[in-house]
Amino acid sequence: MFDSGVLYDDIPVPQLRRTKMAQITMNFKGLSDLAIIQQCLNIKTAMTGNANFTTPTPTLPAFGTLVTTAQTKVTASDAAQLASKQATADKDAAIDALLAGVKQLADYVSMTSAGDGVKIQSAGFSIKAASTPSGVPDMVQNLSLTAGDNAGEIDAQWDPVDGVKISYDIQWSPYPATDTSWKNCPGTTKSKAVLMGFTSGQQVLVRVRAKGTGGTGAWSQTASKFAP
């Protein structure tokens, strides 16, 4: 027996080289319907008679049916969308023409009736309700005062008053109040305000009233607070 003196562990073992497998990428995201169909047609054409792929799943005839069905549905959808857009445009034009016609008819009725409300309503038209003046705003309710965030500040808030274009006058007075001791604060359109500039420890009286298109309401009950 021949012994070369070489140990088995010393014999180099050939390394097998691994082949990296290619992966298919599906580049359909963001494509239009027609672009997707065209890519599928390209794939079907490339696989027809391709010796590398003799038993495709699905079969090429079945895949071709899928492509044809998709083409038919896309064509029908495009036609329906176009018809819908045209129908909407026709509808809008018809409504515009109708409104123009009723406006002319309303002008005729208004002129012929000389503004007689009964005659106008007899023609099927409505008439504007007579405007009524807004009433004087109610007295402000539930005025309350709390310490503000900073020294010499007082936060005031109250229930909002119903009415048109309501705003609020605010006055304050040192305690005790007299007819001439009240001083104006900046007005507001909100049902709250931050009153500033008081001396810490000073007792302050506050009152509020609402103003609207119908006039000015009565002053609220006074509220009292020592300024922080």
Tokens coding 56: 């495709």
Fold (CATH) for 144-226 = Immunoglobulin-like (2.60.40)
Residue 29's pLDDT band (boundaries 50, 70, 90)? confident
Enter the pTM of the model.
0.44
pLDDT tens-digit map of 157-209: 999 998 888 999 999 999 999 999 999 999 999 999 999 999 999 999 999 99
Residue 14 to residue 8: CA distance in whole angstroms: 14
Query: Which part of the chain is CATH 2.60.40.10?
Result: 144-226
- Cis bond upstream, residue 228 (ω within 30): no
CB atoms within 10 A of CB 64: 15
Helix (H) or strand (E) holding 172, with range, is: strand 167-174
